[in-house]
Amino acid sequence: MSVSCLEMRAIEMRYGDGAQAVHALKGIDLDIREHEFITIVGPSGCGKSTLLYLVGGFLRPSAGSLSLRGHPIAGPGPDRGIVFQRYSLFPWLTVRGNIGYGLDEQGVPRAERNKIVDEYVRLVHLQGFEDRYPRELSGGMQQRVALAQTLACKPDILLMDEPFGALDAQTRRILQDEVRRIWRRDTKTVLFVTHDVEEAVALGTRIVVMAARPGRIKEVHERGFDVGDGEEFETNAAFAALKLRIWRSVKAEVEAANP
């Protein structure tokens, strides 16, 4: 009954040729259904960001196919919005300018654009900061703008590349709740890459664990239970159990890479 949104078949990402070839990704098969929140977790070098960039259309796979709602992915576009960890805000535009950028590219007239921008400013709780420049904002606020500017283009799927990795722990928790809240409200499909196992379990309805050398999918876990906003899920037994299982799996990969 859940419709397929993103299909990845036999994805391979190879650098170099022959015996010297490095496989950033090998044999990736994954189906993502609409409204899922997929988190991808794994050690450094497992290719999780590479996979995200392939879905985003910034890179082309050496082999295999990717399709979004039945259409092959040919390049970047507003149907796949992306939030990076850093440097995705245009420093020369204000908050309003950054959020409205994608709409401007689509030719949305100014009056309507302003209305939409205001809506997204409210969504990420940045009222009052519309006319500030990125350098005047904290890291957490910058990432809120990054989120708003991506959502404003109404993408079919939201890609997030370790978006909270550069933030302090408290801000990270707050923004995780924000993302969950927005996902519930808009029921978007999300693909979220992280190296933080707790974050992966807190946000993902399905958690993909990857391994390195070659980059591949090791296992996929269904979370099976809900996580509420601001809930102290440390006391949730099911949460703790799942987190431990996944952590052990990831740890095994990290140790295998660093004997």
| Other beta carbons within 10 Å of 188 | 21
- Candidate segments 81-89, 113-121, 170-178, 229-237, binder of another protein by CB under 8 A: 81-89
Residue 212: closest CA among 242, 154, 256: 256
- Give dist(CA 188, CA 47) in Å, integer: 24
**CB 257, min distance to another protein, A:** 26
- Candidate segments 24-32, 53-61, 186-194, 248-256, binder of another protein by CB under 8 A: 53-61
Regarding 91 and contact with another protein (CB under 8 A), the answer is yes
* Of the residues 39, 49, 50, 88, which one makes contact with another protein according to CB under 8 A: 88
**CB 133, min distance to another protein, A:** 4
Regarding 60 and contact with another protein (CB under 8 A), the answer is no
Quick note: the x/- pattern for another protein over 196-225, rule CB under 8 A, is ------------------------------
Quick note: the x/- pattern for another protein over 1-40, rule CB under 8 A, is ----------------------------------------
Regarding 116 and contact with another protein (CB under 8 A), the answer is no
* Of the residues 82, 117, 121, 207, which one makes contact with another protein according to CB under 8 A: 82
Quick note: the x/- pattern for another protein over 140-179, rule CB under 8 A, is ---------xx--x-x------------------------
SS3 string, the chain, reads CCCEEEEEEEEEEEECCHHHCEEEEEEEEEEEECCCEEEEECCCCCCHHHHHHHHHCCCCCCEEEEEECCEECCCCCCCEEEECCCCCCCCCCCHHHHHHHHHHHCCCCHHHHHHHHHHHHHHCCCCCCCCCCHHHCCHHHHHHHHHHHHHCCCCCEEEEECCCCCCCHHHHHHHHHHHHHHHHHHCCEEEEEECCHHHHHHHCCEEEEEECCCCEEEEEEECCCCCCCCCCHHHCHHHHHHHHHHHHHHHHHHHHHCC
**Cis peptide upstream of residue 78 (ω within 30 degrees of 0):** no
Regarding 106 and contact with another protein (CB under 8 A), the answer is yes
* Of the residues 27, 64, 77, 139, which one makes contact with another protein according to CB under 8 A: 77
Regarding 61 and contact with another protein (CB under 8 A), the answer is no
Interface ranges with another protein (CB under 8 A)? 53, 56-58, 75-78, 80-82, 84, 86-88, 90-94, 101-102, 105-106, 133-135, 149-150, 153, 155
